[in-house]
Structure 1
């Protein structure tokens, strides 16, 4: 390899070709499309099933891979160096196996395809495109930047949901402490008074008594809800309903949708920029969307484009896609610069997501304080009004 271009993939570190092992030899798949969607049906394909790598770790690995290739280091030597540097035990073992496969003559994309839970299909397709085009280093560099961008988008979306989730759990904790812990301690005191209790106190005592009496029923309902949630996500119809509801959550649903559109445009941009056809790029982008409903939209988009529709016209027929994204993509198609326009869509929604997250964080804090203040006021009035009334009567 010279200047970042791989001369042959089945070479050792000394530049000597090794013979292919008969058991490793795979039939050639004619056609670019089949090559891009390369799958491996061998038993090694499921050896690491269920073991995943964080997107951030994968992005670092791919970036290191690209830097070493561009420095003129042979492919097997690159794998040797990365094996030595990897601290993740699971990923270390996988890289050792990949190094052996490549040393025996298998291409890097074929070796990656044996571990689909570790290497996403889009990375495998980009590596295959690099092997076919002869610029592996350049492709790996773009793949690393793509994975880093995807990781940033996902972190922004997660951060938008972390604070509201924390606030909700905190409110539940406070309510549980009041209902199950604080109120029962006052019950005997109020009973010994023999006086008529204010309406707010009676309501709080009744709620606490009911919750305490049926605690095991409530705990059972919580367990059933958790199990139902997990089962719904496993069931195709249930997952579709759940994913559709995610986009309908007030405020946060719009953030999730824009984050999903941003990921899609970023994936499509990288694939098209590296010579992958528009139709194949849409299919691959659908696999990375992570949302069943959005994946259905992309399948329909792909079918419409195959039938001759423009991308913007096909997207406009889908009510899920924001109008701003449709207009920008339409402008890019008309100007013949769809890839740069996809990048503009990504930047637009990334900035909007970041701004909205900051706004939400600013608003939620005072709302949380007001909510806690209201709870505290209700509890204080309910528990201490009878004591104040009794004191007034005695006086």
Structure 2
């Protein structure tokens, strides 16, 4: 089995690469024989065709967070009751779930029955579980506290799902109003307005400039609406592909963080996920460097991930955790001070948990205020658009009536 490693040479320089070994302990022994001091060793997943992954992942339905959280909660309960992992997975694989998740659980069960460690079986499905889950399961297996680690994973996923639900519930009404308004305006422009235009053309009434502009837009929509729908779907597909591109994603994420209001919300959501992940991993007993690496992968934003990677590089170079975080301008002074208090008192996990909670509460309040502002703004915008169309249609009517008086 291949493992990726990060180590220090005798001269104190960083060394990274891959090594073949039976397990992580054997990999560490081989590195020491080469005169390297291991810092971090992780399984190296099989390399697959990037284009194939992108295409298949583009249309594949993801497993819901709530479904994964329930699975780990059930697995933790059965493990705590003394049921072996293979038997627990067999029982859980027979329960009614989404087709994709059923296939994943069945594959994990088959691997465990074949002798694979539970963590390695989970690691074979990074698109479903991610590196954080595999690391927590590995920590539980090695420390003999698998049931506690599985419970931590369930709580971690439940917290992420709760945050997601808060954001969605706050933005559902504005999004619904905007969607209905855009659809209604498109139907009016493409279907209703051209009928009025034909009627006025037959009457020979002179049309005001506003009416002519609206009628031109209606004629354009009537003749080109299939191409417009195709263009919208093509644009959505292009955006989705761009977000999965390793080259374009950092630039897109950087631009997203600079968007007024929404950029700050994305930043808070990303930091809440990362610090919450870090707290969970430290409580499970993972080393600081591994926790920082996995917290970076949980950010969901390439700019924030790069920031955590920079902090990890600082910690690997010998800096304290608070000093490493302090070297990144993204983190406010208060966060660095809380990290320093955690280091001094040995309660880093608790401090990072508080930081994650603070960012989550800030995000919830911002989303609530944004929702309360967007509702009247959307009503005004929709009313103004409908008003412009009504004025454009009725102005010629009034002119025609006046000409007959």
Give the shorter-chain TM-score range: 0.7 to 0.9
1:54 maps to 2:64 = yes
Q: Is the 8 A contact 2:173 2:375 kept in 1?
A: no
Cα distance change of structure 1 residues 376 and 28 upon mapping to structure 2, 3 Å threshold: closer
How far the C-alpha of 1:205 sits from its partner, in A, is 2.2
Cα distance change of structure 1 residues 99 and 218 upon mapping to structure 2, 3 Å threshold: closer
Aligned CA-pair RMSD: 3.0
- Cα distance between partner residues in 1 of 2:149 and 2:165: 24
Corresponding pairs, count: 367
- Cα distance between partner residues in 2 of 1:134 and 1:220: 55
Aligned residue for 1:63?
73
How far the C-alpha of 1:358 sits from its partner, in A, is 2.4
Aligned residue for 1:309?
319
Q: Is the 8 A contact 1:273 1:339 kept in 2?
A: yes
Aligned residue for 1:23?
none
Give the counterpart of 1:107 among 104, 117, 126: 117
- Cα distance between partner residues in 2 of 1:56 and 1:36: 30
Q: What are the within-5 Å matches in structure 2 for residues 118-267 of structure 1?
A: 118-213=128-223, 215=225, 218-219=228-229, 221-267=231-277
TM-score (norm. length: structure 2):
0.80
Structure 2: gaps spanning 5 or more residues? 1-20, 30-37
Q: Is the 8 A contact 1:184 1:208 kept in 2?
A: yes
- Cα distance between partner residues in 2 of 1:369 and 1:149: 33
Structure 1: gaps spanning 5 or more residues? 1-25
Q: Is the 8 A contact 1:286 1:295 kept in 2?
A: yes
Which 10-residue stretch deviates more, 274-283 or 76-85? 76-85
- Cα distance between partner residues in 1 of 2:278 and 2:39: 18
Which 10-residue stretch deviates more, 128-137 or 383-392? 383-392
1:27 maps to 2:22 = yes
C-alpha distance after superposition, 1:288-339 (max 9, x if no partner): 2222222111111111222233434433443434555444334434544221
How far the C-alpha of 1:41 sits from its partner, in A, is 4.2
How far the C-alpha of 1:342 sits from its partner, in A, is 0.9
Aligned residue for 2:8?
none
1:274 maps to 2:284 = yes
Cα distance change of structure 1 residues 40 and 223 upon mapping to structure 2, 3 Å threshold: closer
Aligned residue for 1:354?
364
Aligned residue for 2:42?
37
Cα distance change of structure 1 residues 313 and 212 upon mapping to structure 2, 3 Å threshold: farther
Which 10-residue stretch deviates more, 224-233 or 352-361? 224-233
Cα distance change of structure 1 residues 381 and 260 upon mapping to structure 2, 3 Å threshold: same
How far the C-alpha of 1:262 sits from its partner, in A, is 0.5
TM-score (norm. length: structure 1):
0.81
- Cα distance between partner residues in 2 of 1:223 and 1:57: 29
C-alpha distance after superposition, 1:100-148 (max 9, x if no partner): 4334433211222233333321111111111111111112111211121
How far the C-alpha of 1:243 sits from its partner, in A, is 1.4
- Cα distance between partner residues in 2 of 1:166 and 1:249: 22
Q: What are the within-5 Å matches in structure 2 for residues 325-364 of structure 1?
A: 325-364=335-374
How far the C-alpha of 1:82 sits from its partner, in A, is 2.0
Cα distance change of structure 1 residues 156 and 256 upon mapping to structure 2, 3 Å threshold: farther
Q: Which has the higher relative contact order, 1 or 2, with Cα contacts under 8 A spaced 6 or more apart?
A: 1
Aligned residue for 1:19?
none
Cα distance change of structure 1 residues 327 and 200 upon mapping to structure 2, 3 Å threshold: farther
Aligned residue for 1:16?
none
SS of structure 1 residue aligned to 2:43: coil
How far the C-alpha of 1:56 sits from its partner, in A, is 1.5
Q: Is the 8 A contact 1:36 1:125 kept in 2?
A: no
Q: What are the within-5 Å matches in structure 2 for residues 86-105 of structure 1?
A: 86-105=96-115
- Cα distance between partner residues in 2 of 1:145 and 1:378: 51
- Cα distance between partner residues in 2 of 1:270 and 1:138: 11
- Cα distance between partner residues in 2 of 1:216 and 1:82: 46
Q: Is the 8 A contact 2:293 2:308 kept in 1?
A: yes
Cα distance change of structure 1 residues 311 and 168 upon mapping to structure 2, 3 Å threshold: farther
- Cα distance between partner residues in 2 of 1:75 and 1:210: 63
Q: Is the 8 A contact 2:190 2:225 kept in 1?
A: no
